[in-house]
């Protein structure tokens, strides 16, 4: 069960939808409501009490992948779904290749790491919901994979590159969100 005390930076509301000013409620793929944010969403079932983050996230989509054979660092660009901002993330060659393979629909003879993770979550009764790139600390991004299991959301700490690779491995692809304050700190 999720905690009944609101984590720091959140306020408790009731009703089952998010009323976060400047943000919008986003439907679960299963039809329930969620609002991704810095600390995620906490749901207490029963009277459908939802704790909403004060900070909002922006939905992004994969825009470009730059794979360099001479550099150790590859770049993925996320583009704002309802806007013009783009967001670059430096990633490793393995993750860039995995993302590129999935985007181009190149099959692998055996499951790769991200395929294995998606299959394991599904076989254990979870449903991957979305990816949230939630923090930037000391030049390092932090992300979470959000999984619905038994009516609750479980957040799994992940590197953004792995989270994006999982997002494009899922059918349909998972939504990707970036916290507004992360966008502002990177893009100004």
pLDDT in tens, 51-97: 333 358 999 999 999 999 888 889 999 999 999 999 999 999 999 99
pLDDT at 34: 36
| pLDDT score recorded for residue 23 | 27
* Predicted pLDDT of residue 36: 41
Structure token digits, residue 119: 């299959």
- pLDDT (0 to 100) of residue 1: 28
Ordered structural domains, the chain, with CATH: 10-53 (no CATH), 57-187 (3.10.690.10)
The answer to whether the Cα torsion of 175, 2, 136, 20 is positive or negative is positive
The predicted pLDDT at position 14 comes to 36
Stretches in the chain below the pLDDT threshold 50 = 1-54
Cβ distance 122 to 116 under 8 Å?
no
* Cβ atoms within 10 Å of 107's Cβ, excluding its own: 6
């Amino acid at each position: 069960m999720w905690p009944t005390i609101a984590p720091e930076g959140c306020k408790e509301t009731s009703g089952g939808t998010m009323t976060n000013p400047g943000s919008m409620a986003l439907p679960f793929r299963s039809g329930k409501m969620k609002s991704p944010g810095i600390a995620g969403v906490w749901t207490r079932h029963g009277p459908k009490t939802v704790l909403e983050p004060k900070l909002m996230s922006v939905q992004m989509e994969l825009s470009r992948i730059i794979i360099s054979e001479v550099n150790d660092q590859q770049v993925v660009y996320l583009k704002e779904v309802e806007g013009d901002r783009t967001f670059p993330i430096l990633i490793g060659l393995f993750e860039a290749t995995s993302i590129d393979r999935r985007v181009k629909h190149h099959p692998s003879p055996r499951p790769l790491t991200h395929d294995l993770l998606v299959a394991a979550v599904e076989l254990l009764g979870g449903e991957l919901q979305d990816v949230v790139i939630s923090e930037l600390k000391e030049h390092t991004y932090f992300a979470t994979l959000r999984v619905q299991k038994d009516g609750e959301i479980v957040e799994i700490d992940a590197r953004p590159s792995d989270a994006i690779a999982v997002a494009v491995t899922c059918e349909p692809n998972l939504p990707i969100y970036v916290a507004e304050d992360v966008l502002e700190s990177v893009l100004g």
